[in-house]
Amino acid sequence: RVICLAAGKAAAAMAAAAEAYYLDRLGLDPARLSGLATTRHGHGVPTRRIRVVEAGHPVPDEAGLKAADDTLKLAAEATADDLVLVLIS
């Protein structure tokens, strides 16, 4: 599996680029790609497999706190056979 964890104003755009690379260019089975991208309100873009959460910045809001918790849970689910891709802007 590829687990993409992204954060920052460009997180959603980077997640969409990662989807294009893994799904379209490499032909990865979509079921093997998951993740979460947390971005600032107004910076979300459509994605296919990676969930996008818009949250408060620079002051964290409830959406951001929940997304941070969900991101940590996804990271904790990774095994030695998984690739964890971390994208930060």
Cα–Cα distance list, 63 to 31, 57, 59 (Å): 26, 11, 11
Closest CA to 42 of 32, 53, 51: 53
Q: pLDDT per residue over 49-74, tens digit each? A: 999 999 998 899 999 999 999 999 99
Whats the size of the chain, residue-wise?
A: 89
Q: How many domains does the chain have?
A: 1
CB 75 within 8 A of CB 41: no
Domain range spanning residue 73? 2-88
Q: pLDDT per residue over 20-47, tens digit each? A: 999 999 999 999 999 999 999 999 999 9
CB 37 within 8 A of CB 18: no
